[in-house]
């Protein structure tokens, strides 16, 4: 509103919001694809549902719980519990429809998609005791282990680099791995990072655990690439 003449102008007139082709969906999240809303129904065992905002229809997509979902281009990728204990990776063609397609029987935890590759926390061995950082093609083929002896339980990918929290008991740390040079660096030892994000050359995360692995009060932190840590606010 112009305070001189009292006229009101719509600043967003004719503005069309761009479509985001890379949408991360965490547990309990809802996320959009065109006119449809995908969500986990907590009243139905965390099964995946889709609600069409035009037809007002609500349809169950899976019959078992899902998590670690991700929309990339025109596909929905999600990790689904199969046979009560196995956790397989499926995808749905959101543009053309059809049945969900099984693309990997690997337990693709904390999946992210970057440059047409799925990055994930790779769990193998009896009781999933072996944990690694790995990538695979969008169809689930050609699994490539990037780092062994790490447990990347929270990570983000920006500018050809994977930034991750290494959840190795007793030696928590924030790390980086360059997808081009293959260089692995430890940015900060003794910190445990949840919900890791990269903004303007810095990392931001939540933490409820101190450097000794003891559950404590929660804070929001800023971490620079040279390891300088700043406590932003108490959660």
Render pLDDT for 75-121 as a digit per residue (tens, 0 to 9).
999 888 876 667 889 999 999 988 889 998 887 888 889 999 999 98
Q: What does the pLDDT read at residue 7?
A: 59
Predicted pLDDT of residue 8: 54
pLDDT, tens digit, for every residue of 14-50?
Answer: 544 444 444 444 444 677 888 998 888 888 888 889 9
Identify the pLDDT of residue 32: 84
The pLDDT value recorded for residue 109 is 82
What pLDDT score was predicted for residue 22?
A: 43
How would you classify residue 159: left for phi > 0, otherwise alpha for psi between -120 and 50, otherwise beta?
left
Q: Return the ∠ at Cα 102 (arms to 97 and 105), rounded to 5°.
A: 160
Lowest mean pLDDT among 2-6, 61-65, 122-126: 2-6
Out of 51-65, 82-96, 129-143, 168-182, which region has the weakest mean confidence (pLDDT)?
82-96
pLDDT reported for residue 9: 58
pLDDT-derived band of residue 12, with 50, 70 and 90 as boundaries?
very low
CA dihedral 15, 21, 27, 30 (to 10 degrees): 30
- pTM check: above 0.85: no
Digit-coded pLDDT (tens) for 146-189: 999 899 988 899 999 999 999 876 678 999 999 999 999 999 98
pLDDT at residue 114 in the model: 93
- The pLDDT confidence band at residue 69, using thresholds 50, 70 and 90, is confident
> Quick one: three-class SS letters along the chain?
CCCCCCCCCCCCCCCCCCCCCEEEECCCCEEEECCEEEEEEHHHCCEEEEEECCCCCEEECCCCCEEEEEEECCEEEEEEEECCCEEEEEEEECCCCCCCEEEECCEEEEEEEECCEEEEEEEECHHHCEEEEEEEECCCCCCEEEECCCCEEEEEEECCEEEEEECCCCCCEEEEEECCCCCEEEEEECCCCEEEEEECCEEEEEEEECCCCCEEEEEEEEEECCCCEEEEEEC
Looking at the predicted structure, is the pLDDT value of residue 215 above 80? no
pLDDT at 119 (0 to 100): 92
Look at 127 and 88; give whichever has higher pLDDT.
Answer: 88
């Amino acid at each position: 509103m112009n305070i001189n003449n009292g006229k009101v102008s719509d600043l967003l007139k004719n503005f069309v919001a761009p479509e985001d082709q890379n949408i991360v969906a965490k547990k309990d999240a809802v996320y959009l694809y065109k006119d449809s809303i995908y969500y986990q129904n907590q009243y139905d065992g965390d099964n995946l549902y889709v609600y069409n905002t035009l037809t007002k229809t609500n349809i169950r997509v899976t019959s078992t719980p899902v998590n670690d979902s991700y929309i990339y281009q025109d596909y929905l990728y999600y990790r689904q519990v199969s046979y009560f204990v196995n956790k397989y990776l499926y995808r749905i063609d959101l543009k053309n429809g059809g049945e969900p397609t099984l693309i990997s029987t690997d337990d693709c935890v904390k999946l992210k998609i970057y440059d047409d590759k799925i990055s994930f926390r790779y769990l193998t061995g009896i009781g999933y005791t072996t944990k690694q950082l790995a990538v695979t093609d969008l169809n689930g083929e050609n699994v490539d282990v990037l780092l062994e002896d790490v447990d990347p339980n929270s990570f983000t990918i920006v500018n050809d680099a994977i930034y991750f929290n290494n959840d190795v008991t007793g030696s928590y740390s924030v790390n980086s791995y360059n997808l081009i040079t293959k260089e692995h660096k430890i940015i900060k030892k003794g910190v445990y990072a949840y919900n890791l994000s990269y903004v303007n050359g810095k990392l931001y995360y939540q933490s409820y655990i101190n450097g000794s692995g003891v559950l404590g009060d929660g804070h929001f932190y800023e971490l620079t690439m040279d390891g300088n840590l700043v406590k932003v606010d108490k959660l």
